[in-house]
Structure 1
C-alpha cells in the first residue's frame, strides 16, 4: 500500500484548522499523545460518574455482590443476597471491593452505597483501553494516525457508556486490546527480531486479567484471530514469538488459585452455572430476554461507534481491496470472526462487540492515511470531494446528537415536565460541531471531519451524563425510594418491596431488603414489630389494600414515587407505607 494523505492547510480562525494543529502538536511525542488521550478520556468519562443512578439490572447486581464481599469478608464466593452469583469470575468484584475499601479508608460517607466508587475500575479500564488502543495502533500507523484512531475509539458512545457502569466490559476491553497489541507485533514482525519484554507482558497480562474478569473471552478473541491468520500463513509458527510455554505458566500462576478455591468452595457448582447455564444459555437462546436477530450489531453500530461509525462504514471497500496485506488481514481477523460469532448467537447486547472497535478505528484511519476517502477530483488547489453516497453516509454524524437531544428533551418533558436547560447549551454545541464535521467531509477535509466529530463527542458526553441526566428524576426511582427510607424518624428501619424488585433497590436499601410476593405477606412484614417500611407497586396495590384493611394494621402512607423503569421500559408508580412505633 502506498500512503497518500490529503490534508487541507489550516486557515486562520478556522476551528477545524486549529484542531489539526492540536493533533500535530500532540503527535510530536508519545508523552504528548498520551496526555491528550488521557484528557479526552477524562472529559468523556468523568461527568456523571457519581451522579448517575445505579443502572438496572446488571450494574447493581455486580455492585451488590461486591458490597456483600465487604460485608461478609468472603472474597472467594460471589453472592447476590442469599443467591449464588456464579456467572462471571471474581476479577471485577475484587476490583470494586478494593475501591470501596479505599473509599472507606479515606472517609467517604456511605461508601458501600456510593455507586461512583464501584465504577472506578470501569473508569480505569476505559482509560486504559483508550491508551492501549494507541499502543496497538502504533503497530500499523505513524504516531499521528495512531493518536487519531485511539481518539476515535475513546470518544465512541459505547466506551463512554461502559466507563460509567460498574460491570466487566470496560476492563475486558482493556485486556483484549493489550493482548491484541502484542499479537499484532508478533504477526507483523514475524521472522524479525524477538518481541521485547514489555510486549510479552502486555499480551499475557491482558490474557490473565481478562480470564479473571470474564472467563474465556480474551482467549476466544485472540484465538479466533490467531487461527485465521495461521491458516492464511499456512503455519502457526509465528505464535512462538509470544513464548507460549512461559506465558501459559505465567497466566496459570495468576488465575489458578481463585479457580481452584471456587471449585472447592462451591463443590464445582460455579462451573456448572457459569458454563452450563450462563454461557451455553446465551448460545442456545435469548438469555434474559436479550434475543435479537443476526445483523443487530451491524445496525446499532452506527450509534454505538458514533462519531466514527460512518467513516468506518466507508472504509469497508478499502478493507476488501487490501485484505491481502498483512496489516489489513490482521485487523480483519480481529474483527470479522468474533463479530460473525456474536451475530450468530441469539443473545445480543451492544457491548459484546466493544473489544472489536479499536480494530475498526485503526482500519478506518488506515484507509484515511492511504487516501481512500479522497473520491473524485475537486477543483485545482483544493482537496478531492467525496462522492455523494459517502456524504449521505456521513450525514449520520450530526443525526445521532440531534436525535439524542430531541429524545432527552422529549423524555424530560413527558415524565418530569421540565426542560433540561443545564445540558442544552452543550447538547446544541455538540450538534453544531457534528454539522461542521459533515460540512468538512463534504469539502474533502476528512481528517478535519473526524476531529470535529471527536470534539462533538467530548461535548455530548458531559452534556448528557453530567448535566442532563441529573435533571431526569423519572429515571431515579430507586434513589427516590431510598430517600423515603432515609427520611423516616427512626433509625435502621426494616424495608420490603412488593412488585418492584430491581437490583438497584437492593443495592441502595441493603442486603436484607425483603421481597414478599403478595399483599398479605407484605402486611405481615409490616406487622412484625419495630420500625418498618414497605414499597408497593401500583399493580400490587389492590391486593395490598385488601390485606391491610382485613388486618386492621395502622400502616400510614409516607410517600409516593412515579418514574420510568429502564429495565422494564415502562412507567412505574409506587406508594410507601410505614409502621413507626
Structure 2
C-alpha cells in the first residue's frame, strides 16, 4: 500500500479513480453489439441527426422520437464526428464513458471537501466500480450523462454548504442547464430535493443564498430554453405531449411497459446494483449509525433519501432510475469504511454477481444455448475479488479501495466480453452481415422488429408485417427476406436463431433471396 499512500498524499487520488473507471468501462465497450432497445433508439436517432444536419428535430427512421430532450443526441453526434465512426456503436457509447468519468471526478471533489484524502479516493472508486455505473458507461443512453450533471451540481452544493462557492456558482447553474437538455427536470429534481433536505435539517437557507445568482439563472436558461422553443415550433407541440405527457407523467400515474414493482424494490436491488460497494456498506451499517450526525453523512443522506423515496413511490420502476444517488452512497462508504469490520453481513451481497451470471446461464439454457466459455473463469475471478474485498476490511481504507477496484474490474471484464461473445444474444449483426453480402437487394424482415436491425443495416431495411410478404415477393428487383416462414418455392439460404432482447423471446428466422 506504500505506493498508493504516496499517490493519495500527493493529491493524485482523482487520477487513480479515473483510471479505475476506465478499467471498468473499456472491457466490451467496442465489442458489445448494439443493445435493444433504448441504446439503439438513441444512437440511431443521433446518426440520423448527424446525417441530416437537422439539430433540432429528433427522429428514429421516419418516426419522431420525443421522449427525451436533445442534449444526449448533440453529445453523441459530436462523439461520432470526432471519432469519424458514425456507423460504430462504440462511438456513441463514448459519451456515457466520459460522463461516468466526470461523475467520478465530481464525487472525488466532494469527498475532498467533506472527507479525508483516503476517504475521497474510496468514495470515487466505489462509484467507478459499481455494477450500475459500469453498465450505464457501456450503453449509449442518457443515464450516465444525467449522473454527471447531478454530481457536478452537487459538488458545487457541497462547496456552498461548507463555505462560499465563489466562481463555481456559475458551474452549478450551467450543470442544471445541461441536465435540463439531457433528461428534462429529473436532474434538477434530485438537486433541489437535496437542497431542500439540507435546508430543512439545518433550518437555514444559507446554502441556497450562496448558490443564488441572476447571471447563473440566465446562463441556465440560455443553455436550455432555445432548443425547447425551437422543438415546440417544429413539432407543433407534440414534443410536450410525448415527453411530458405520455413519458414522464405517464410513468408517475401507472407502471409503463410492464416495469412496475412494489415500494422497496430499489432498496432491495441496491445490494447488486451498488456492488462491490454494497459489501462495504453492509459491513459499515453500525458505524454509519454512529456517524449519523457527521457533516458528510448528513450531506449524503440529504442527497439520497428524498430521491429514493420519490422513485420508490413511483409506479414505473427501472433499475437505473436511482443512479443519480450513487455518489451519495459512495460518500457514505468514504465516511465510515475505516470502521467497517469483515462481519458476516458483508458476505450477504458478496456473490450476487455470480447469481446474476448463473441466472443468465439458466435463462439461455432454457433456449438450448449457454453463455460464452469466458463466463466460468470470469466467475472465479469475481468470487476471488469479492472475498478479497471482505478480507480487505481488516486492513484499512486504502486496502478496501484497492479491493473495490479489483472487484469492479472483475465484474466488468467478465460480464461484457462474455455477453459480446454469446452470439445467440445478437441476431441483428448476423442478419445485417447477410444483407451486406447482397447490397443490391432490398432487405425486408418480419418476426424481428427491433431497433438493432435498423442500426446494423444503417436503416436499409424494411420492417414488414407477415401480410406484406406476398407483395414483397412480387415486387420488382432483388429481394432479400428474413421471416419465420415464407410461402415460396425459393430455396432457403440459411436460418438465424437468437434471442430478441427487446421482448425476451427467441426468434428463428429463415432467409430467402429472390433475384
Matches within 5 A, 1:186-265: 186-189=160-163, 194-197=164-167, 199-265=168-234
The equivalent of 1:558 in structure 2 is 493
* Residue matched to 1:523: 470
Specify the structure having the higher radius of gyration (Cα). 1
CA contact (8 A) 1:68 1:511 kept: no
Pairwise CA distance, 1:196: 2.7
Once the two structures are TM-superposed, the CA of residue 517 in structure 1 deviates from its matched residue by 2.2
Unaligned runs of 5+ in 1: 1-19, 105-110, 374-385
Match of 1:509 among 437, 457, 470: 457
Among candidates 331, 344, 351, match of residue 399 of structure 1: 351
Match of 2:134 among 137, 155, 160: 160
CA distance in 1 between counterparts of 2:7 and 2:170 reads 27
- In 2, the alpha carbon distance for the partners of 1:396 and 1:201 equals 44
Partner residue, 1:16 = none
Aligned to 1:486: 436
Please give the secondary structure, in 2, of the residue aligned with 1:329: helix
Pick one of 462, 468, 471 that aligns with 2:421.
Answer: 471
What is the alpha-carbon distance in structure 1 between the residues aligned to residue 313 and residue 375 of structure 2?
39
Q: Does 1:58 align with 2:38?
A: yes
TM-score, structure 2 normalization: 0.94
Q: Provide structure 2 residue ranges, at least 5 long, that are not aligned to the other structure.
A: none
User: Which segment drifts farther, 402-411 or 74-83?
Assistant: 402-411
Q: Does 1:499 align with 2:447?
A: yes
Q: Is it true that 1:361 corresponds to 2:340 in the alignment?
A: no
1:499 partner SS: coil
Is 1:135 the counterpart of 2:109 in the alignment? yes
The correspondence of residues 13-24 of structure 1 with structure 2, limited to 5 A, is: 20-24=1-5
Q: Is residue 43–residue 458 contact of structure 1 (8 Å, CA) maintained in 2? A: yes
8 Å Cα contact 1:397-1:435 kept in structure 2: no
Aligned length: 515
SS of 1:173's equivalent? helix
SS in 2 for 1:563: strand
Report if aligned partners of 2:296, 2:331 keep a CA contact under 8 Å in 1: no
CA RMSD of aligned residues (A): 2.3
Match runs of 1:170-569 below 5 Å: 170-189=144-163, 194-197=164-167, 199-369=168-338, 371=339, 373=340, 386=341, 391-407=343-359, 420-422=372-374, 424-441=376-393, 448-466=399-417, 468-488=418-438, 491-518=439-466, 520-537=467-484, 541=485, 545=486, 548-549=487-488, 555-569=490-504
Q: Aligned in 2, Cα 1:335/1:495: closer, same or farther, shift over 3 Å?
A: same
Write the distance in 2 (CA, Å) between the matches of 1:100 and 1:437.
38
Mapped contact 2:37–2:450 kept (Cα < 8 A): yes
How far off is 1:366 after superposition?
Answer: 0.6
Matched, 1:77 2:47: no
Distance 1:241 1:445 in 2: 36
* Change over 3 Å in CA distance of 1:267–1:418 after alignment to 2: closer
CA distance in 2 between counterparts of 1:203 and 1:397 reads: 36
8 Å CA contact retained: 1:415, 1:474: no
C-alpha distance 407-23 of structure 1, shift in aligned 2 (>3 A): farther
Scaled by the length of structure 1, the TM-score of the pair is: 0.84
- 8 Å CA contact retained: 2:93, 2:139: yes
SS of the equivalent of 1:562 reads strand
Shift of 1:492: 4.0
How far apart are residue 242 of structure 1 and its match? 1.5
Map of 2:514 onto structure 1 = 579
Q: How far apart are residue 475 of structure 1 and its match?
A: 0.7
